[in-house]
Chain A
């Protein structure tokens, strides 16, 4: 383990956003090849933390290291797949045109476009304008973009929001397969039931990480019947 760099190493990270501390002294380390769930109520700092990892957030203090390099390093730009919370794709292009453009920016091979269209199950819509798709389909185009190339770390901000249960299950299946192949994943969600799919949980509340452990250890430590109750117990009893 020692010579493989951590997927993510965050130390004493502080970020001020909109006049308040959005991330307030956060430290944790994520081993590679795991699916990590970043959970917490909306406004708890998940998106800000994610923006720090992909190197687009101005930080006030502390450090973020991704795959052994400081976040934002040019070398990381090929190694991280990033899904923003709101779908960031072009509404006035087709699905395929969108993916072709991002693939050429990443210098990804030609076959990649069809591969990711299949992975998010959008083959039937490949030549439709993204602006005419449903919200769920549009967010899958955005997810497909994050899968282009060969990212070693996928940072996905709420990839399953607004999707039906079948699609959610399929996507979690895809995330598990990617992790089995060695990709590290950080998946944010504000739905605690998704936590069960994860190897490790990072629970955030008011800009702080209140737990970083496996679902099993979280349940054992709190004695709660499910993860939602465990999160509540953690806050209530001040176990964090």
Chain B
């Protein structure tokens, strides 16, 4: 692995988005608009219950879609095959994307948190920054998951279909609809294998406690570990030789 090649790959991926202002705009604006809808739908006390967890989940959804389609395009256009005949480590490729989309994720999460707390009047007991950090970690997780699933898709149609497969079950079981301790036993167990559970659990800490507790850091660490794990799996599933 080389820093120069990882960085070059990240810069190239961002350069591509720069020439596609519409995608870039959607990427940054969609979570902000969705949070606005949430603020509009619910009366104040419900906004403060559903708003903070969704603040992390919307960036995750958007980054998942963008990353899985972007890497799939590399596979189908032949650029990935060409790169893998060059002295580019698989990790250079995967982490290059992670750095590029991770940087975007930070901008996106800061923007949506800023607007939600500043303009929409979202309130938590703890600090808004702690919620923003969950949003950034979630967005990074979305990037990692997107990179990983693109290995199992051979068309953009398939890649997009992975969203309901990978993300909707997490959305249902993460504790947002029903606290995880009230889930049927088996589903409760299943939720332990889902990173979104920990993101929501960390958010609950910030919503209910004025200070960040140790369990906040543990939950956030688990989400980050899932992200790093899926990046490593993504690199492992890249094959230089294909049938």
From A88, A89, A102, B81 is in contact (CB under 8 Å) with: A88
CB of B243 closer than 8 Å to a CB of A: yes
Q: Mark B208-243, 1 if CB is under 8 A from A, else 0.
A: 000000000000000000000000000000001111
Q: A55-B241, A57-B241, A72-B241 are in contact. Are A129 and B87 (CB under 8 A)?
A: no
Bound complex: CA of A84 vs CA of B86, how far in Å? 13
* A interface residues with partner B (beta carbon < 8 Å): 17, 54-58, 72, 74, 77-78, 80, 82, 84, 86-93, 97, 101-102, 104-107, 129, 145
Nearest chain A residue, comparing its CB with the CB of B83 = A105
- Least CB distance from A99 to B in Å reads 11
Asked if B87 contacts A107 (CB within 8 A), the reply is yes
Q: A88-B81, A97-B15, A129-B19 are in contact. Are A77 and B86 (CB under 8 A)?
A: yes
Asked if A84 contacts B81 (CB within 8 A), the reply is yes
- Least CB distance from B66 to A in Å reads 13
From B4, B16, B20, A104 is in contact (CB under 8 Å) with: B4
Nearest chain B residue, comparing its CB with the CB of A59 = B241
Asked if B85 contacts A77 (CB within 8 A), the reply is yes
- Least CB distance from A34 to B in Å reads 21
Nearest chain B residue, comparing its CB with the CB of A75 = B87
Residues 1-48 of B at the A interface (beta carbon under 8 Å): 4-5, 8-9, 11-12, 15-16, 19-20
Q: Mark B82-113, 1 if CB is under 8 A from A, else 0.
A: 11111110000000000000000000000000
* 5 additional contacts (CB under 8 A) given A54-B85, A55-B241, A92-B20: A17-B243, A58-B243, A105-B86, A105-B88, A107-B87
Interface residues on chain B, number (Cβ under 8 Å): 25
Nearest chain A residue, comparing its CB with the CB of B87 = A77
For B85, what are the chain A residues with a Cβ–Cβ distance below 8 Å?
54-56, 77, 80, 82
Nearest chain A residue, comparing its CB with the CB of B74 = A90
Bound complex: CA of A89 vs CA of B77, how far in Å? 8
Asked if B8 contacts A101 (CB within 8 A), the reply is yes
Asked if A74 contacts B241 (CB within 8 A), the reply is no
A-B CB contact pairs (8 Å), 19 listed: A17-B243, A56-B84, A57-B241, A57-B242, A72-B241, A77-B85, A80-B85, A88-B79, A88-B81, A90-B16, A90-B79, A97-B15, A101-B11, A102-B82, A102-B86, A105-B83, A105-B86, A105-B87, A145-B82
Bound complex: CA of A196 vs CA of B125, how far in Å? 79
From A55, A77, A93, B12 is in contact (CB under 8 Å) with: A93
Asked if A89 contacts B79 (CB within 8 A), the reply is yes
Bound complex: CA of A86 vs CA of B5, how far in Å? 24
Asked if A56 contacts B242 (CB within 8 A), the reply is yes
Bound complex: CA of A46 vs CA of B81, how far in Å? 17
For B15, what are the chain A residues with a Cβ–Cβ distance below 8 Å?
93, 97, 101
Asked if B4 contacts A92 (CB within 8 A), the reply is no
Q: Which 8 A-B pairs give the minimum distances between C-beta atoms?
A: A88-B78, A104-B8, A101-B12, A77-B87, A92-B16, A88-B82, A84-B78, A92-B19
For B12, what are the chain A residues with a Cβ–Cβ distance below 8 Å?
90, 93, 97, 101
Asked if A55 contacts B81 (CB within 8 A), the reply is no
Q: A17-B243, A72-B240, A93-B12 are in contact. Are A86 and B86 (CB under 8 A)?
A: no
For A90, what are the chain B residues with a Cβ–Cβ distance below 8 Å?
12, 16, 77, 79
From A58, A86, A107, B241 is in contact (CB under 8 Å) with: A58
- Least CB distance from A148 to B in Å reads 9
Asked if A106 contacts B87 (CB within 8 A), the reply is yes
Nearest chain A residue, comparing its CB with the CB of B7 = A104
Nearest chain B residue, comparing its CB with the CB of A106 = B86
